């Protein structure tokens, strides 16, 4: 197995990271406008999960070595 991510894999991760950031921004913004408390709680939970995903992707991009 390769020790480092290939260039196309790194680019895919950057694309995924940009998409997740966009989703997080939209969810955070819209949750403040939601009037239904249950919907707001669902959106806040989704935002928290989105933050975790973004951190995981950032660690993959930063630490390009493959994890075994």
Q: pLDDT of 3-30, one tens digit each?
A: 678 889 889 999 999 999 999 999 999 9
Could you tell me the residue ranges of all domains in the chain? 7-62
Residue 35 has pLDDT above 70, yes or no: yes
Q: How far apart are CA 34 and CA 10, in angstroms?
A: 36
- Does the pTM surpass 0.85? The reply is no
Q: How far apart are CA 22 and CA 51, in angstroms?
A: 11
Q: How far apart are CA 56 and CA 38, in angstroms?
A: 27
């Amino acid at each position: 197995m390769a020790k480092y991510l290939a260039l196309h894999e790194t680019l895919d991760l950057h694309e995924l990271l940009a998409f997740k950031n966009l989703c997080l921004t939209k969810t955070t913004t819209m949750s403040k406008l939601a009037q239904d408390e249950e919907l707001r709680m669902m959106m806040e939970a989704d935002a928290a999960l989105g933050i975790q995903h973004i951190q995981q992707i950032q660690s993959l991009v930063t630490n390009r070595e493959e994890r075994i």
